[in-house]
Structure 1
Amino acid sequence: MTAGSTVELVKLRKTYGSTVAVDGIDLRIAAGSYCCLLGPSGCGKTSTLRMIAGHEDISDGDLLIGDSVVNGEPPARRGTAMMFQSYALFPHLDCVDNVAFSLKMKGVGKEERRRRAAEMLDLVDMGRYAGRLPAQLSGGQQQRVALARALITRPGVLLLDEPLSALDPFLRVRMREELKRLHRDIGITFIHVTHSQTEAMALADLAVVMNQGRIEQAGPPRELFNRPRTAFVARFIGGHNVIDAGVIGDAGRCAVRADRIRLGGAHPADIQVEGTVRSLEYHGATVHLGLDVAGAEEFAVVLDEAGYFDAPVAIGDRVRAGWNRTDVHPLAS
């Protein structure tokens, strides 16, 4: 398999008429890394992926793959391969011929292309289904075939457009594990678009949060979770409370992780607020509470199961929530 390629976006911009989809972003994705572009619908992540693929023209800026500027290059000459959200398998071709199709278009002989297709199917654990048509496969199996088809061209960069969104939750977890294994085994650069924070946290070396065509923050998932730069990132990544200036005597907006907050006066805490229990959800190992607290749009508390049932509360109860000042994280905006 080809070694992974670096991907660099320099002031990359995409407009559709007067609408700005991607607003002059800068990003460097290291060779062999797993990058997730995430954000809400309309944030620019899919337009960015399609510009990297060559399926959208670049309005301004530069796109480098390896050491080459590829702005005007067709998709076939970029060293990239794209796996679409719909998988786009040919219904009348079996798995081998679906995977081998791009090699057929390049003039590779039948015996060679079928041999390489069989190798790719083995790589994604689909060799025993080689003779089946797409309609005879489950959604997860179809996804594996689509992955094999993308990988057979030996790309330096694999582009994935929300590849797990059509799968049920259980299969989605299994396919996350499969993507991580494939990335580790073949060593090329993966760029994966998702709106799922959980997906990005589980898969990415580099997570890139986008909002209104711009990059709000990029870094390792743990960095984004523990040190969100803005209120948008803190809310989108989840697991944080965004508290307005002055509520706890600080100069500006800040974030506090929901799992760092304790209820009641039994736990020592530098900072305390009062609120009313608005919602309560049992999640097995944890219990999630929503509180109405002045100065916070949404205030969440995540307690471990044992801690909650030692001193349970109910919806409508007035409670005191506290946390240590060392758990307060200042936000830029």
Structure 2
Amino acid sequence: MPTNATDLELAAVTKAYGETIAVDRVSLRIPGGTYCCLLGPSGCGKTSTLRMIAGHEFVSDGDVMIGNTIVNDLPPAKRGTAMMFQSYALFPHLDVRDNVAFSLKMAGVAKEERRRKADELLALVDMGSYAARLPTQLSGGQQQRVALARALVTNPSVLLLDEPLSALDPFLRIRMRAELKRYQREFGISFVHVTHSQEEAMALADMVVVMNDGRIEQVGSPREIFNAPRTRFVAQFMGGHNVVPDEGRTYAIRADHLRLYRGAGTDAADRRSPATVTGVEYQGMTVHVSLARPDGLELVATLPEREFDRTPVVRGDEVLVGWDAADRHELAA
């Protein structure tokens, strides 16, 4: 399939529902060919942002630009975008081929041509042998592939995905993540994918956009977002970090950079303080140890199973918890 990479830009985009501001002057540029995940908790504005890009919500203020065109007043079908919904929204009375070809039928494409294009897309997503089946005869993963083929059949410049993996079981979700990333690379277009799953965003995205309360908290690659969270919210939402106030500043320290000690430390590079073990959670390759310092600060240390087994602890044990000063990452006030 030919590539159709087009830049997408939001310029101070706002969405208001009466007195409620769902999206607050969001500005963002997504280069063509990027897999971008809009990540955040429920109610942060990520789905409203996606729907404004698609044309399913009016823009209260600001501009949505696709390529060199401001598309605020264009209907969804004229924007060069396609939307893949959380529910997949397949027509139950149409077989798989006709589901994929439906938008081409609405556009007046001849039957032979639209079926040829539908078969081409079904082959791409390994669903060619299911063309005559009804959606109810498909598994969740198969329905997702059909929905993806239907979205891609119009050759969009941007594909918009609204939590497309949330209905799948954990094992299928992991497999479909890899497939979505592969399809994005093969088509060479931008995918804009809404999710509340940090793991999903880290696995899929070239660009992660963390949103909170209608605003963007941070934009970066998955490694940048995880290793250098800019704010307390990002550090806590991404997980795997402890937020530690120290000497009038606030730091994030990765949980896997904390170490537990039974004796007094002598290394000046370590910050060691007493703590009580409040919980131990076995996770297979790692063990999560919850701790409470006398000042009330709660911490979590993530230890490799082998390291934990060398000096195991149980709830109620008194330990020293420490980290290297170089592992602290200062957060914005």
Secondary structure of the equivalent of 1:115? helix
Superimposed CA distance per residue, residues 30-82 of structure 1 (whole angstroms, 9 cap, x where no aligned partner): 10000000100000000000000000000001111011111111111110000
In structure 2, the residue matched to 1:253 is: 250
In structure 2, the residue matched to 1:83 is: 84
Secondary structure of the equivalent of 1:259? helix
CA distance in 2, matches of 1:296, 1:233: 22
In structure 2, the residue matched to 1:71 is: 72
Deviation for aligned residue 1:143:
0.4
Verify: 1:227 aligned to 2:215, yes or no. no
Deviation for aligned residue 1:163:
0.2
Superimposed CA distance per residue, residues 169-221 of structure 1 (whole angstroms, 9 cap, x where no aligned partner): 00000000100110111111000000000000000000000000000001101
In structure 1, the residue matched to 2:322 is: 322
Verify: 1:198 aligned to 2:199, yes or no. yes
Q: 1:116 to 1:295 in 2, by over 3 A?
A: farther
Verify: 1:187 aligned to 2:188, yes or no. yes
Deviation for aligned residue 1:294:
4.7
Judge conservation of contact 2:262–2:319 (CA < 8 Å) in 1. Answer: no
CA distance in 2, matches of 1:64, 1:2: 19
Secondary structure of the equivalent of 1:326? helix
CA distance in 1, matches of 2:138, 2:296: 48
CA distance in 2, matches of 1:137, 1:78: 31
Judge conservation of contact 2:207–2:220 (CA < 8 Å) in 1. Answer: yes
Matching residue within 260, 277, 280 for 1:263: 260
Deviation for aligned residue 1:293:
2.5
The amino acid across from 1:214 in the alignment is: R
- Which aligned segments of 4 or more residues in structure 1 are displaced greater than 3 angstroms? 265-269, 294-298
Secondary structure of the equivalent of 2:249? coil
Q: Report how many aligned residue pairs link the two structures.
A: 329
CA distance in 2, matches of 1:18, 1:273: 48
Verify: 1:162 aligned to 2:163, yes or no. yes
Superimposed CA distance per residue, residues 75-133 of structure 1 (whole angstroms, 9 cap, x where no aligned partner): 11110000000000000111100000000001111111111101101111111111110
Secondary structure of the equivalent of 1:253? strand
- Runs (5+) with no aligned partner, structure 1: none
Percent identity at matched positions? 64
CA distance in 2, matches of 1:297, 1:121: 54
Instruction: Provide the alpha-carbon RMSD of the alignment.
Output: 1.2
The amino acid across from 2:131 in the alignment is: A
TM-score (norm 1): 0.96
TM-score (norm 2): 0.96
Judge conservation of contact 1:14–1:59 (CA < 8 Å) in 2. Answer: yes
In structure 2, the residue matched to 1:35 is: 36
In structure 1, the residue matched to 2:141 is: 140
- Runs (5+) with no aligned partner, structure 2: none
CA distance in 2, matches of 1:59, 1:294: 50
